[in-house]
């Protein structure tokens, strides 16, 4: 079976396709409810998690250690869901986090801007019982696009619209929900998307590295430092500029870690000023 990540533009029909596909395949669908689950699991404020879930962090938040911890927790939750396989992960950078996973199918759902505005207006009219202001809906779609673009650039230095991030791009201007579901369901049965031990290990390694990052971001002695974490078969490698002894101790306490090694990263000296 497969892990499906689905990135979508507001009004393009991504959640509708994802939910219908999950029902067809008997997969778990991970949408907005992940925030409540993560909040309870890690003891974090649900309102702040919801704020950072799809939005671009503000300038202040980019330098805030607590914000970094919240973002890492969301990332870790995605990896943990992916470890369970047979899952559809909606948004949250899954297309980047699961790059290179053989049994991962990375999908982008898009549609022309004007069509998305029209669809969202119709949906909101049905919910509110009256036609929403056209300018309001247009601004909403444009703002959502900007937030998602900015968030991916901040977190992973990639453009969410880059087609190379995806295995499939669906333009729902012509593709209906049922047609899109049919096409994706067929793809998940392809032998090249079969789950393999190698693919499972890639996901496990990334999940473990992310759990170590959460531990480091939660510890008062290590949270203020940026430490790079890699994991392979339970062996964790840390790279950082400071507090590595403390980081080693924190990493060793994470479940699943068999051995930890650290490498000091030297900060190059400032070049002499030349007038």
**CATH numbers and ranges of domains, the chain:** 3-193 (3.40.50.300), 197-264 (3.30.70)
Mean pLDDT of all residues belonging to the chain? 88
The three-class DSSP label of residue 179 is helix
The pLDDT assigned to 268 comes to 55
Taking alpha carbons only, the member of 100, 107, 99, 104 closest to residue 85 is 104
DSSP β-bridge partners for residue 201: none
pLDDT band at 61 (very low <50, low <70, confident <90, very high): low
Task: Extract the tokens encoding 224.
Answer: 């203020």
Q: Using alpha carbons, list the distances in angstroms from residue 254 to 81, 208, 215, 233.
A: 18, 8, 7, 14
Please determine, for residue 20, whether its predicted confidence score (pLDDT) is greater than 90: yes
The span from the CA of 115 to the CA of 74, in Å, is 31
The pLDDT assigned to 274 comes to 45
């Amino acid at each position: 079976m497969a892990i499906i990540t689905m990135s979508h533009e507001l009004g393009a029909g991504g959640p509708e396709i994802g939910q219908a596909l999950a029902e067809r395949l008997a997969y778990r669908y991970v949408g907005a409810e992940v925030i409540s689950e993560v909040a309870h699991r890690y003891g974090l404020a649900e309102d702040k998690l919801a704020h950072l879930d799809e939005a671009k962090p503000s300038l202040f938040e980019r330098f805030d250690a607590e914000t970094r911890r919240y973002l890492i927790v969301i990332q870790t939750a995605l990896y943990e869901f992916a470890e369970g396989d047979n899952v559809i992960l909606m948004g949250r950078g899954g297309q980047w986090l699961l790059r290179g996973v053989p049994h991962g199918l990375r999908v982008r759902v898009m549609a022309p801007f004007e069509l998305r505005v029209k669809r969202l207006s119709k949906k909101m009219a049905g919910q509110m019982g009256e036609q929403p202001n056209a300018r309001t809906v247009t601004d909403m779609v444009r703002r959502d696009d900007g937030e998602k673009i900015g968030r991916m650039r901040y977190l992973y230095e990639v453009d969410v619209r880059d087609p190379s991030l995806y295995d499939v791009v669906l333009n729902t201007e012509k593709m209906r929900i049922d047609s899109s579901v049919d096409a994706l369901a067929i793809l998940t049965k392809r032998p090249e998307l079969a789950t393999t031990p190698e693919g499972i290990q890639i996901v496990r390694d990334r999940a473990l590295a992310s759990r170590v990052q959460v531990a480091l971001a939660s510890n008062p002695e290590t949270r203020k430092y940026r430490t790079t974490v890699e994991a392979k078969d339970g062996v964790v490698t840390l790279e950082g500029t400071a507090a590595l002894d403390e980081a080693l101790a924190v990493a060793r306490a994470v479940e699943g870690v068999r051995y930890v090694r650290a490498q000091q990263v030297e900060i190059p000296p400032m070049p002499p000023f030349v007038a």
